[in-house]
Structure 1
Amino acid sequence: MTRRPKLSELFSHAEIRQLTRRSNAMGLWAIGSTWAVIALSFIVLVYARAHLPLWGQGLALLLALLVIAGRQLALAILQHEGAHGTLFASAWGNDILADWLCARPLWNQLHKYRPYHLVHHTKTSSADDPDLSLTTGFPTSRRSLTRKILRDLSGLSGLKFLLGRALMDAEVLKWTVANDVQRLPRAGRRWPDHARALLKNSAGMLLTNALLAGVLWASGHAWLYGVWALAYLTPFPLFVRIRSMAEHACTQPGADPLRNTRTTAAGWLARATVAPVRVNFHIEHHLMASVPYFRLPHLHRLLRERGLTPPPPSYLDVLQIVSGAAR
């Protein structure tokens, strides 16, 4: 097994201090700009409905679904930054703002995600990695990958996720963001107990989504909440799948984050969809999880200049890698 390199072997103390400096301003910008793009997408849809022919409205809806789903993934990544304590310089920003402005609207909870995700970092690619089920079975055939993509785009994956999250909040299933399902012991509980647990655990999601729906209703365009929900059910699961495959599928097992993780080149289209908030710099993140998102490109340049990482593949390259089994 390859060992994990010591940071002191790769970087000076001054470089580490510079790379790990957090910024409240950058945290606020990341959250504010993400929600601003979502709001702008809603505005474009309202304009299209009032001024464009039917085909133009359909095109605007399709583009809005892609943009909003990309920003939903951005919110998920910002929650991830908060879980590492790198989104803000303040604990309040990482614990409260990242939770209520990023995690809860997507039916997530920072206090559950944080301990779960930190295990992924300490046990990456091992049998104890809680995210292992997201990348097992690769490489696969093109036909299998196509079926997965079609399930995502048809909404089947999204509906499955909603059912799973409801059962997790009802404390029927163990909480996870991966694909493996573990049933919790009943311990004498009846369905009314599960219903109360569901209401308690999903209260944050219900509150934030009710607030979003209320704002849209007050603006006279309550139908826009349906667009938010449709984006969550259709492109969003596909973007999550591609991002997960790019990060860890078909990488080398072992403890070395330079080998068990992948950084992927991301152009403007990838950054708008599957790679928001610099999440494509995943080797860098696993090597030094204390580096905030906006400093990851600098860390990437240092690794490349020192010959520690190869040129990153594109997301199209990744899709070819993970569908490289016999057809």
Structure 2
Amino acid sequence: MSQAVSPVEITTPKNTIPLKATNCQKNTTMNQNDESSRPNTPTPSEVIRKKKDVQRQLKQLAKPVVWRFVLALSVDWMVIVGAMLCAGMWPTWWVCLASVLVIGTRQHALGVLGHEAAHYTATRYRKANDAIGMLLCFWPIGGSLTGYRRFHQRHHRHLGTEHDPEMHFFQSDEWKIPVKTAAPVWRFIKGCLGMQILDYAKLIRSLLPKTKTEWVGIPIWWACFALILWVLDSLWLLGLYAIAIPTVFWALIELRGWTEHRGIAETHRYKTHWLFQQILFPHNVWMHYEHHQWCYIPFFNLPKARALDETTPVVQLRDVFEFLGETDHEAYARNNGSHLTLDHFSDQVLHCS
């Protein structure tokens, strides 16, 4: 019968050695505790693997899906047509007013989809991309795809600087910060009433067509639109549609643009209520932070792109408005990380210039 081994002895084939290396045990235990208490810092190979994985995901997200774009476009146009039909069937002042409001929100949505086409994310075929962007997005709101594309490239290239063309539309006292929430709301109401039409005219001058195709195409499009309504004995609806552009459409453009970049050098990263997403921020345009990081990703994949960045905080839209009423903007940027980092994961992020 074998003899039990003492817990303080180590048995070898030749003899039994008293365990005097008690300090080694203690040191080993301490090292194990130290290792378990250390933060789980990724190794260089893990970092490289993470970058490659994110690059692969971004590449997948960047693929245009034309049916997704056409579906969103079709819904916007159906709402516009529906609003015009309602006004035509019940031409009371309040139905017409409601129709103008609805049409203006969808014209804004068309502008957002036109912005997608300006980034070549409608379809991978560039000629088809531009044709859709011109005929169904920009020309119906009196805009130019080529003019907007050049304007918007300068916005991405000179974001937040004096060379950013969008900054020139927020020079009035009502937009200056710190500002009370009532000021931009009042500005929005005045915009809906057509009291900011001079600013809208300034925008149109900034977006003049850069090609003969658009110089000729825009008036032809509007002539065809008028002809269709005339044939339907509803030419007066053209005025209803057109008046929404320098009023509701422009008021929405101004307010949204103001919430995206004001008060910081780059872009706010926020979330907002579903209703605001539909009216003020259609087609995921409220994910403007992600757009400025990865402007080649179509709007319907921006939520997935947002999920890839877990480091930059996301605030509520109301927090942005509260911030714009504060004076210590640098403290806000430090606490909320509201700055644009173009390269969280990848050295191959596309700069939108």
TM-score bracket for the superposition, by shorter chain length: 0.7 to 0.9
Larger Rg: 2
Q: 1:285 aligns with which of 291, 297, 300?
A: 291
User: Which deviations, in whole Å up to 9, do the C-alpha atoms of 1:121-145 show, x marking residues without a partner?
Assistant: 1221123222222345531444653
| Residue of structure 2 in register with 1:91 after alignment | 126
| Residue of structure 2 in register with 1:185 after alignment | none
| Residue of structure 2 in register with 1:298 after alignment | 304
Q: 1:210 aligns with which of 215, 219, 223?
A: 223
| Residue of structure 1 in register with 2:188 after alignment | 149
8 A contact 1:24–1:90 mirrored in 2: no
SS in structure 2 opposite 1:12? Answer: helix
Structure 1 distance, partners of 2:179, 2:239, is 34
Q: 1:124 aligns with which of 147, 159, 166?
A: 159
SS in structure 2 opposite 1:299? Answer: helix
| Residue of structure 2 in register with 1:81 after alignment | 116
- Give how far 1:160 is off: 4.7
> Which aligned pairs between 1:114-263 and structure 2 lie closer than 5 A?
114-135=149-170, 138-142=176-180, 144-145=183-184, 148-158=187-197, 160-162=199-201, 165=204, 168=205, 175-176=206-207, 202-251=215-264, 253=265, 260-263=266-269
| Residue of structure 1 in register with 2:146 after alignment | 111
Whether 2:63 is the aligned partner of 1:21: answer yes
Instruction: Give the TM-score normalised by the residue count of structure 2.
Output: 0.69
Cα distance change of structure 1 residues 150 and 318 upon mapping to structure 2, 3 Å threshold? same
Identity %: 25
**Which amino acid is the alignment partner of residue 59 of structure 2?**
R
Cα distance change of structure 1 residues 153 and 318 upon mapping to structure 2, 3 Å threshold? farther
> Which aligned pairs between 1:4-43 and structure 2 lie closer than 5 A?
9=51, 12-43=54-85
Structure 1 distance, partners of 2:260, 2:203, is 23
Task: Give the number of aligned pairs.
Answer: 274
| Structure 1 alignment gaps of length 5 or more | 1-7, 50-56, 169-174, 178-196, 254-259
Cα distance change of structure 1 residues 231 and 10 upon mapping to structure 2, 3 Å threshold? farther
CA RMSD of aligned residues (A): 2.9
8 A contact 2:269–2:313 mirrored in 1: no
Structure 2 distance, partners of 1:21, 1:13, is 13
Structure 2 distance, partners of 1:20, 1:58, is 45
SS in structure 1 opposite 2:268? Answer: coil
- Give how far 1:60 is off: 2.6
Instruction: Give the TM-score normalised by the residue count of structure 1.
Output: 0.74
**Which amino acid is the alignment partner of residue 324 of structure 2?**
V
User: Which deviations, in whole Å up to 9, do the C-alpha atoms of 1:230-265 show, x marking residues without a partner?
Assistant: 2112211210111101111112x2xxxxxx112342
Whether 2:271 is the aligned partner of 1:265: answer yes
Cα distance change of structure 1 residues 43 and 12 upon mapping to structure 2, 3 Å threshold? same
Structure 1 distance, partners of 2:123, 2:315, is 28
Structure 1 distance, partners of 2:213, 2:59, is 41
RCO higher in 1 or 2 (8 Å CA, sep ≥ 6)? 1
- Give how far 1:85 is off: 0.7
**Which amino acid is the alignment partner of residue 158 of structure 1?**
I
